[in-house]
């Protein structure tokens, strides 16, 4: 990623400003709005004839000559701001905000890659062009000769695109002309098979003029758009289309600059996936065991003489192991293959879209894959920019580049010439004229509004989007569970080999003793066979030790979980991520769209000055300030300063407001707006399109059931439109009233407009007045307004004031105006009447509070990383419960400058990272991982790719996520909801538990099988085992497979969230599991060996001289031993359903039909084997007494399990640590070389650190904790009284830093009562904040308390 300069320093702009709100995104201190400068309405005389150069999709027509400076409709101006890629600014460090130092810039595109490319007729090379946008580079564009030089170098024409010569006789121009994406085949004009796109083929709205032959857009210098229309030749568009570049055909362009496709990642074939699956260590171990077992089986069956009547079935064990391996490999690889195909098909559908271009003067829609460098492409609202380019001309084009670069504000696009003029003005000290403005189109960004054209300069792998996609391709790491299972496989191989070697040694000693004493007498060949038999039994022991069902259990658990997760809106791309999520200890989440709905909504407001309404008042009582006075109890209403204030639910507005006030409020919203209603192509639902603020107000009016905005807007006779500008932070419209009168409606930043108000509307409960009653604003009223604005601002609501003013005539008397639609704003915006103040925010998604609470309950820390400002981030974090006692809020510019030690101290406590760049997010993830945390990260933008790839588990958004984010992620949240992450944790824990349940069962079985094989082989003169090879096959293979399926299919339950996650270093086997394994295997070994050696006596069989009778009696004992062993396993599988010390092993068993069915099948097959198995299994039919014994002894496993659970863990843990079966917990640290604080704080810190890692009974029972509590400090480290006293100033300072202060009288100057945790201004200036509930003796207060107060 280092070569991509994914985030140039210019994007990390620091913004400081008021907490006030505005209608546009350029208002500082508020959440960025995607529409900072509104479209302009054409006056009636401008809407017809040839003068109208572009048809607006809205109900009202808008002129491109935005009155940005607020003086006249047609005054030419370049939008305020500064070009992000200003070279002067880059050199000076871009000090756009106080203390906002920028990191070292990343290296730009590696131009060395151009060396091996033959550019043919072109004077520029592909990576040279790509470096224009990464980072945005005006100097290089100037060096290339500006837009004219670039067009000449690429052999294209600004208004006609590629010439007929370039298109040649290829099919591209004609063949793809009628390409229409599937989503657009809607029967509208132009959507059929005729050449060209026609009107409306790929745009959201039908054009209102059917006789427009091609899209005509205006640039900033012409009559209406502020530029030259592209169909009018200008000095830059002279017909000098001569030269070799103009005749370079499409094939040549693709050769030099590449195709607009990314190389299809070589998806592994099914065979390759199978080969990868076979490389698993356990499967390698199994494969060796299978080969050895098969070879020895064939030797025993066909290389030796067998007793009469005994079938040659020893080879079956080897074959069965091979079958088990085949099942595991097939299930795992087919599952992976299907998931990959599913993801591919998802991406392919996304790729099927058309791009509108101009070729040879004809507008056409071509397949996105057919776009070449030099094409002139057209953009319209809602489109995702497919390639990098340089903007040519257009009308009010704004792009959201947050998904590509992390820039949260909308970026306005101006032609190169206008940007150059802006730079000249800036150079002459003319301010920041090009802030959030440039002429570069970045692939992956979204067009928010406007129409225009740009020339394509980079496609495919050379484009910004393509390079990131390629950089993110890589192989996944092993998950923590895979690592632990691999270690287990190695351990089992070593232990099994040791046991086999021990048995071989013991048997060989006896063999040599027998050979020396010639007892028994054997021929040389018999002695040879005896040796081979010893070898076979030793190898069999090793084979028995290998857990054949383990890989199948893991695979089945993952397959089952991922299938169920798909139904829960979780598409798992990487199977292993499922179980990794089980022990995620930290989730770093985005704010917008994940925690919030990404839909701005009116949540509170004040109509007039007394009527305070709140959306869902019952749930949000803190949203109203009616009845509240700082320092005054609510009950003392009589003594309140604003006694007339009252609160209502938003649903009661219609009953409270008079019809006249309702109509006025609705007109102020509907007429003074550029937003409109449209049908969402994906959901088929009606949605409002436009500025987030305006859509919120329109939605508010619609929810209240007020008159339809469209009819209200059409009924209004508009005289003059006042567009929004960031200087005045307001927009307005003047409508003509009957009798020659006129009315001005204004909306904008509340703290600005309310100062210009002299009156307010009067709202009384149940009023039915026909006219709107107004009153003068006195000091008390102004105090009420100020309180309301500050109250909303402290909740980080965007406050919008709606006002009006009536005029007796138009233009107003005494006003100098060139025409009636050009009255200066300053002459209008005073003596206003306040209608309402509305509080707008992006509300939380339903269920987010509960999801965050569940995460905390599950021991998962949630950290918010957002590019939004710190005030909004804090508000949302408080609302959803992320920001809690002991937590820190920090801004990206401060975070990235921390020293390594400070970083390690801060990161565990960091809960909100505001104004963060993608690099900050990646740094946070890397630091967390270095601290041993398992990290999950959510991301939706291209810029989130590095963090998603760095994390243990990456979550991308299925709806809002870019292709890059999805490619880099492991799990896709199909509903973009944070609550789905909790489901992922739950299912991950379900997978982990399934594997552990199976291990608890399987290892018990294997330990028993190894012990009885070892003991019986040593005790038997003929080296015969208790269980025959085929019986071991049934127990080891079939039983294990069934148990894997049964235990792997327990569904996830919310109870899984009631425990803390395991650390990466935690052992695979817990103390509870060890207790069960040791207890159950001991019991099974004892009863099996007792019945093996004493079975005849217990059953009352006496030794018979009749060989047939004796053989039958031995067969009954052998069958009984086999039966006891099998039923002990069946009942132990039920016992293994619990991993903790709780006794209810049947919890949820009725919901797992697999388990119940498989258990019944196992019992049925066992009965069948005994009755029918006969010779193959070396069993015989047994009577009821033997069946009763087998069932009773098998059932004992269940009460025995309950008894084992009652054994205290502490002594067992000490025993396991001594035997090295459990790792020894870290000893309490005594000194730290890098310690900077005095020893008293160090001691506290060390103790706190240890106790945070030790939980529950383990802490209380651990001896070393007890010792540490009672330990005396060494004399040299004993803390003297003066040393303790030195802490006092720090504690006091940190208390002040945490927000403590003496009470003070309430006042508007500081409604937060000097509490920096509640004061928006303090937080905005502070850059770091510690939660006010943090205890004064908390180490974080010692270190950061003073800084939190003073920075």
Tally of helices (H runs) and strands (E runs) in the chain: 48, 30
Say how far apart CA 134 and CA 129 lie, in whole Å: 10
DSSP assignment letter at 1146: T
Residues 6+ apart with CB under 8 A from 766: 655, 656
Say how far apart CA 92 and CA 911 lie, in whole Å: 33
Cα 1214 to Cα 561, 1218, 1260: the distances in Å are: 36, 6, 14
Say how far apart CA 882 and CA 986 lie, in whole Å: 19
The beta-strand segments (E) located in 488-535 are none
- The SS3 call for residue 1199 is helix
Look up 771 and say whether it is catalytic.
no
Neighbours of 438 (CB within 10 A): 28
Q: In this structure, what are the phi and psi dihedrals at residue 976, rounded to the nearest 5 degrees?
A: 60, 25
Contact 924, 903 (CB under 8 A): no
Residues 6+ apart with CB under 8 A from 1058: 857, 858
Cα 1188 to Cα 190, 1127, 1195: the distances in Å are: 82, 11, 10
Say how far apart CA 125 and CA 108 lie, in whole Å: 15
Say how far apart CA 966 and CA 1058 lie, in whole Å: 31
- The SS3 call for residue 178 is strand
Neighbours of 46 (CB within 10 A): 18
Q: In this structure, what are the phi and psi dihedrals at residue 358, rounded to the nearest 5 degrees?
A: -110, 120
Say how far apart CA 1335 and CA 1318 lie, in whole Å: 17
- The SS3 call for residue 244 is helix
Say how far apart CA 806 and CA 772 lie, in whole Å: 12
Write out the DSSP string of 949-991: HHSSEEEEETTT--HHHHHH-SEEETT--THHHHHHHHHHHHH
b/e per residue 250-280 (b: at least 16 CB within 10 A): bebbbebbbbbbbeeeeeeeeeebbeebbeb
Element (H, E) at 130: helix 126-130
Polymer length of the chain: 1351
By CB atoms closer than 10 A (0-12, 13-18, 19+), residue 786 is middle
Residues 6+ apart with CB under 8 A from 929: 935, 950, 951, 952
Residues 6+ apart with CB under 8 A from 1142: 1205
Choosing from 85, 590, 993, 1040, the catalytic residue is 590
Contact 1200, 1079 (CB under 8 A): yes
Residue labelled with tokens 């993952």? 558
Residues 6+ apart with CB under 8 A from 995: 481, 485, 550, 553, 554, 557, 579, 1048
Say how far apart CA 694 and CA 3 lie, in whole Å: 41
Residues designated catalytic: 590
């Amino acid at each position: 990623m280092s070569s991509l300069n994914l985030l140039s320093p210019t994007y990390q702009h620091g913004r400081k400003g008021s907490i006030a709100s505005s209608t546009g995104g350029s208002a500082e201190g508020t959440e960025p709005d995607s529409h900072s400068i509104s479209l302009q309405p054409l006056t009636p005389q401008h809407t017809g004839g040839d003068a109208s150069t572009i048809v607006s999709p809205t109900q009202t027509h808008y002129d491109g000559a935005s009155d940005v400076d607020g003086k006249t409709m047609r005054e030419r101006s370049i939008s305020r701001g500064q070009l992000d890629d200003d070279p002067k600014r880059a050199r000076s460090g871009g000090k756009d905000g106080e203390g906002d130092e920028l990191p070292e810039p990343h290296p730009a595109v590696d131009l060395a890659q151009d060396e091996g490319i033959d550019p043919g007729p072109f004077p520029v090379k592909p990576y040279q062009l790509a470096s224009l946008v990464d980072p945005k580079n005006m100097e290089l564009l100037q060096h290339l000769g500006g837009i004219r030089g670039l067009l000449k170098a690429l052999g294209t024409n600004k208004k006609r695109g590629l010439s007929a010569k370039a298109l040649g006789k290829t099919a591209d121009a004609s063949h793809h002309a009628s390409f229409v994406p599937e989503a657009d085949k809607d029967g509208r004009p132009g959507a059929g098979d005729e050449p060209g796109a026609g009107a409306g083929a790929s745009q959201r709205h039908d054009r209102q003029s059917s006789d427009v032959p091609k899209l005509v857009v205006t640039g900033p210098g012409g009559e209406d758009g502020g530029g030259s229309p592209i169909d009018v030749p200008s000095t830059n568009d002279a017909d000098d289309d001569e030269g070799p570049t103009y005749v370079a055909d499409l094939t040549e362009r693709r050769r030099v600059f590449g195709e607009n496709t990314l190389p299809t990642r070589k998806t592994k074939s099914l065979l390759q996936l199978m080969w990868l699956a076979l490389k698993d260590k356990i499967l390698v171990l199994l494969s060796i065991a299978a080969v050895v077992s098969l070879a020895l089986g064939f030797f025993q069956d066909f290389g030796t003489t067998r007793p009469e009547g005994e079938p040659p079935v020893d080879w079956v064990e080897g074959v069965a192991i091979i079958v088990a391996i085949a099942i595991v490999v097939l299930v795992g690889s087919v599952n992976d293959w299907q998931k990959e195909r599913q993801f591919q098909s998802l991406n392919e559908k996304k790729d099927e879209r058309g791009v509108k271009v101009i070729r040879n003067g004809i507008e056409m829609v071509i397949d996105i894959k057919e776009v070449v460098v030099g094409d002139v492409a057209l953009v319209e609202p809602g489109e995702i920019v497919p390639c990098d380019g340089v903007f040519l001309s257009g009308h009010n084009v704004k792009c959201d580049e947050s998904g590509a670069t992390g820039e949260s504000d909308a970026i306005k696009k101006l032609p190169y010439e206008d940007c150059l003029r802006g730079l000249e003005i800036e150079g002459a000290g003319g301010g920041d004229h090009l802030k959030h403005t440039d002429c570069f189109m970045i692939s992956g960004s979204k067009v928010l509004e406007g129409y225009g054209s740009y020339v394509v300069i980079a496609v495919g792998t050379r484009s910004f989007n393509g390079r990131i996609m390629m950089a993110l391709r890589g192989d996944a790491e092993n998950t923590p569970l895979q690592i632990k299972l691999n270690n287990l496989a190695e351990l089992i191989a070593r232990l099994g080999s040791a046991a086999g070697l021990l048995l071989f040694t013991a048997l060989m000693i006896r063999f040599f003793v027998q050979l020396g004493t010639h007892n028994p007498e054997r021929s040389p060949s018999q002695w040879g066979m005896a040796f081979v038999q010893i070898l076979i039994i030793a190898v069999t022991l090793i084979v028995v030790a290998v857990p054949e069902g383990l890989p199948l259990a893991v695979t089945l658990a993952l397959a089952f979980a991922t299938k169920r997760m798909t139904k829960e809106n979780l598409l798992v791309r990487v199977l292993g991520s499922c179980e990794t999520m089980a022990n995620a200890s930290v989730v770093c989440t985005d704010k917008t769209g994940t925690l919030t709905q990404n839909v701005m909504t009116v949540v509170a407001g004040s109509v007039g000055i007394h009527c305070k309404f709140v959306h869902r008042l019952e749930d949000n009582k803190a949203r109203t300030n009616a009845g509240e006075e700082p320092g005054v109890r609510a009950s003392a209403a009589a003594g309140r300063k604003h006694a007339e204030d009252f609160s209502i639910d938003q649903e009661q507005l219609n009953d409270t407001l008079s019809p006249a006030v309702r109509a006025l409020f609705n007109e102020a919203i509907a007429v003074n707006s550029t937003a409109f209603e449209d049908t969402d192509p994906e959901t088929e639902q009606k949605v409002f399109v436009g500025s987030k603020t305006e859509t919120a107000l329109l939605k508010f009016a619609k929810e209240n059931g007020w008159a339809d905005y469209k009819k209200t807007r059409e009924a209004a006779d508009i005289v003059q439109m006042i567009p929004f500008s960031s200087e005045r932070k307001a927009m307005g419209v003047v409508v003509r009233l009957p009798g020659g009168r006129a009315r001005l409606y204004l909306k904008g930043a509340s703290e600005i407009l309310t100062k210009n108000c002299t009156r307010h509307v009067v709202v009384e409960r149940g009023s039915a007045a026909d006219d709107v009653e107004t009153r003068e604003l006195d000091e008390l009223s102004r105090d009420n307004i100020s309180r309301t604005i500050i109250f909303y601002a402290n909740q980080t609501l965007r406050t919008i004031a709606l006002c009006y003013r009536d005029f007796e005539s138009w233009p107003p008397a005494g006003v100098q105006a060139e025409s009636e639609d050009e009255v200066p704003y300053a002459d209008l915006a005073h003596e206003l009447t306040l209608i309402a103040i509305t509080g707008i925010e992006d509300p939380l998604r339903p269920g987010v509070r509960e999801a965050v609470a569940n995460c905390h309950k599950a021991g998962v820390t949630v950290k918010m990383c957002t590019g939004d400002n710190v005030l909004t981030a804090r508000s949302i974090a408080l609302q959803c419960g992320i920001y809690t006692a002991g937590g820190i809020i920090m801004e990206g510019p401060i975070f990235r400058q921390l020293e390594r030690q400070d970083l390690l101290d801060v990161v565990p406590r960091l809960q909100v990272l505001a104004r963060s760049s993608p690099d900050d997010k990646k740094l946070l993830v890397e630091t967390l991982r270095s601290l041993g945390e398992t990290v999950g990260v959510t991301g939706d933008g291209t810029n989130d790719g590095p963090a998603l790839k760095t994390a243990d588990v990456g979550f991308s958004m299925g709806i809002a996520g870019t292709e890059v984010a999805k490619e880099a992620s492991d799990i896709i949240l199909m509903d973009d909801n944070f609550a789905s992450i909790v489901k992922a944790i739950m299912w991950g824990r379900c997978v982990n538990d399934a594997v552990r349940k199976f291990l608890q069962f399987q290892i018990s079985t294997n330990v028993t099988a190894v012990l009885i094989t070892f003991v019986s082989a040593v005790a038997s003169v003929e080296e015969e085992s208790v269980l025959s090879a085929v019986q071991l096959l049934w127990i080891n293979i079939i039983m294990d497979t069934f148990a894997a399926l049964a235990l792997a299919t327990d569904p996830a339950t919310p109870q899984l969230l009631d425990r803390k996650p395991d650390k990466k270093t935690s052992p695979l086997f817990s103390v509870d599991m060890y207790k069960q394994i040791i207890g159950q295997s001991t019991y099974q070994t004892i009863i099996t060996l007792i019945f093996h050696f004493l079975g005849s006596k217990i059953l009352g069989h006496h030794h018979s001289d009749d060989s047939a009778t004796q053989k039958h009696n031995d067969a009954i004992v052998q069958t009984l031993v086999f039966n006891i062993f099998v039923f002990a396993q069946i009942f132990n599988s039920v016992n293994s359903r619990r991993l903790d010390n709780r006794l209810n092993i049947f919890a949820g068993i009725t919901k797992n039909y697999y388990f119940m069915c498989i258990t019944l099948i196992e019992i049925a097959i066992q009965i069948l084997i005994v009755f029918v198995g006969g010779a193959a299994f070396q069993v015989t039919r047994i009577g009821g007494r033997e069946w009763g014994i087998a069932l009773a002894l098998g059932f004992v496993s269940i009460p025995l399990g309950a008894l084992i659970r009652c054994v205290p863990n502490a002594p067992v843990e000490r025993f396991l640590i001594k035997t090295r079966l459990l790792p020894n917990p870290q000893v309490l640290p005594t000194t730290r070389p890098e310690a900077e604080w005095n020893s008293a704080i160090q001691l506290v810190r060390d103790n706190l650190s240890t106790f945070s890692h030790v939980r529950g009974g383990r802490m209380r029972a651990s001896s070393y904790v007890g010792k540490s509590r009672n330990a005396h400090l060494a004399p040299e480290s004993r803390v003297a009284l003066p040393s303790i006293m030195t802490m006092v100033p720090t504690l006091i300072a940190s208390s002040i830093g945490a927000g403590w202060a003496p009470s003070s009288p309430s006042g508007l100057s500081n409604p937060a009562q000097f509490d920096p945790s509640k004061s928006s201004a303090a937080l905005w200036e502070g850059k770091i904040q510690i939660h006010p509930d943090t205890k004064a003796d908390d180490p974080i207060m010692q270190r950061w308390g003073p800084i939190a107060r003073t920075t």
